[in-house]
Structure 1
Amino acid sequence: MLLSLNESPVPMRRVYSLAADLEQDTRRVTLAQQLTRDSSKPLLGLKGTFGLFASGEWWANVNKREIPLLFVSGVIRRAYFAGQDSAGPNNTIDLVSSDGAISTVGIYTNDVRDVELFVPGHLVHVVYALDELKRQPAADGGVNYSRVALEMAISEQPA
């Protein structure tokens, strides 16, 4: 596990694991890997720099932190539905970090019932793998990444 929940100031509960998610949706892995291998689509999909998505090599590189990881933590300021549909469960949160910065992140859960845990005042930790896309460079001239959510945890009580 990448998130160190023991170091949190309040008890935390892991509500999302990409590994568990992919066990339920093996087609996602197949499609992502096919797109990486498809040379007729040089601007679509992952580059495969650290191995094919969710392969043994890819997971080893995640665990060795060869793939850049992004850790985001903060207290929920707002939970809401973002999207074109007019209704739906909350799928987005605004987090306030310890330095006052606000980040907007998606809600990831392996059990849809856990969405109700995402309420203002609760602490959230999420870690992303920054996997290089085929399309390079990014608009700012840097590396163009896909943010792949690996784990998400939420506090069991307000922070």
Structure 2
Amino acid sequence: MAPKAEKKPSTAEEDQQQEEKKLSSPAPSPAEKKPAKAEKRLPAVTKEGSGLIEKKKKKMKKINETYKIYIFKVLKQVHPDIGISSKAMGIMNSFINDIFEKLAQESSRLARYNKKPTITSREIQTSVRLVLPGELAKHAVSEGVYGYENNRVINEVRI
């Protein structure tokens, strides 16, 4: 372990300069040392030449996930010559979000009823039958089973 450095005896001039520094800048009170975390801060303002320039904080861009791209792709597969307005696209996006939310709630409820911790494809299939009406449920289940089997076969080939 290294020995501690010894303090040099200070001269009277150095002591006087230190006291003047202390007197010229008053010690901030404890409340002024740290600003409260909830305190709102104004943007920094700097003087450049004759005018004032404000520094602005960059805003974080909120990531907004939608199904608009996929809705448009399906529309072009079914009716290539038809377009869709932005208002109608917003309505379709809300519709898909609502359906997915209903399916998730129903699947969760089924898993809870059966005291299972995991939502499997069986719960999803049953919730589709319960949420969607008649013929629409039959088509959705058949397409879902086809997609599930197709995905399973592809994953088995990789292994």
- Per the normalisation by structure 2, the TM-score is 0.23
Pair member with larger Rg: 2
Structure with the larger RCO, 1 or 2 (CA within 8 Å, 6+ apart): 1
Q: Which has the higher helix share?
A: 2
Q: Which has the higher strand share?
A: 1
